[in-house]
Structure 1
Amino acid sequence: MRQQIVEAREKAAKDGIRVQRARTPAPDVAAPVGEVTEATEPFQDNGTLRTISARYDLTGQRELLWIANEGKKVGDARCTQKFQFSNNTTPRERPTMLLCWRTSQDKSVVVLAVTPEGRPDTRDAVAKLDTRWSAMG
């Protein structure tokens, strides 16, 4: 397995692709341990919608690490299209991606919508988030 990783990195370097480490939680963020539920389904125009939920606060973890701004308020949720996937990169807008989230001490729901072209529909993504939030009680 290690040899495959080395070979993949060498090939990427030869093709001009720099390997970057994913963002990690801040040292002072204690990662709660518990069940996380994920579901992926089709979304507008051949896209996908991933819903992630947990019965604890996911702030500063998982996909929420990608958030590069405070997002815009949409109902009780926040949404952004500005992402930073590595600590060594500059945040930038990703027009075909949308991340919406709502968190509390007791539960979190995150929705990631990706479309091959065009912008993901914020209303549809937040509606899915709200449905999952309500279903969690």
Structure 2
Amino acid sequence: MSNALGGHGGSADVSSAGSNIAPSPAGPATSGPTATRKPSAEGTREPAPAGSVVPKVSDPPLPKSAKERVAAARSLAAKHGAKLMHPVEPKNVPSAMSEAAANAKVTVVGSAKSGTTMRIVTARGDLTGQRELASVAGDVIPVGPVSCSQRFKFANEEKPAVRKNLLVCWRTAAQRSVVVLTADVHGKPSRHDTVETVNKQWSKLG
């Protein structure tokens, strides 16, 4: 058997082959599978190439004064085609009436879900031409001592127009005032209910 193996050069081939196998390069010892680093929950950012300049991104500074901020907002609105509106404001109102408007009590009843809301404003003073009444633009209909209208002008740039979904009714005097603004999504605010609310609130003010 040994001669047969030797005749084929089996022993010499195995030993020489073993001596020709290059040892594997030594690497760092690890106790388990190679660990991979996972990105954090906040995410990771690829490092910038060496020598490159990364631009700094920051929000533009806000204007310092309120006047500058208003001017910046108007400029942005004009740039995007938004029309600037100026609300209608009371003019030449005596200080006593202004004080009554500032101290008025406001209550809202109803809900958008129901489709109808009433904004009830009561004051110990005269609200003529103020608050909700500053937007009334004619077509006043008297209902006893109460007045009602559906014609409004909410901004100086607008033309007076009838708002089918809005109705305002009011009663004012030097010592007390009641204003009720009714909004109805179906375009049918009840004059009866609005006038009735004005009269009830007027009686409560005594």
TM-score where L is the length of structure 2:
0.59
Query: Structure 1 residue 66: deviation in Å?
Result: 0.5
> What amino acid maps onto 1:17 in structure 2?
A
The alignment of Structure 1 onto Structure 2 pairs a total of residues equal to 136
Q: Which residue of 2 aligns with 1:37?
A: 105
Partner of 1:130, secondary structure, is helix
The 5 A counterparts of 1:1-137 are 9=74, 12-13=77-78, 16-26=81-91, 28-32=92-96, 33-34=99-100, 35-42=103-110, 45-69=114-138, 71-137=140-206
- Alpha carbons of structure 1 residues 63 and 95: separation in structure 2 relative to 1, 3 Å: same
Query: Structure 1 residue 118: deviation in Å?
Result: 2.1
Contact 2:140 2:149 in 1 (8 A): yes
Cα distance in 2 for partners of 1:90, 1:52 equals 26
Query: Structure 1 residue 13: deviation in Å?
Result: 3.8
Query: Structure 1 residue 99: deviation in Å?
Result: 0.6
Cα distance in 2 for partners of 1:116, 1:10 equals 34
Identity %: 35
Cα distance in 1 for partners of 2:110, 2:76 equals 33
| Structure with more helix by fraction | 2
Name structure 2 gaps, 5 residues minimum. Answer: 1-61
Two-structure CA RMSD over aligned residues (Å): 2.2
Larger radius of gyration: 2
More deviation, 67-76/108-117:
67-76
Runs of 4+ with deviation above 4 angstroms = 1-12
| Structure with more strand by fraction | 1
Instruction: Answer 1 or 2: higher relative contact order, Cα 8 Å, separation at least 6.
Output: 1
Cα distance in 1 for partners of 2:117, 2:77 equals 27
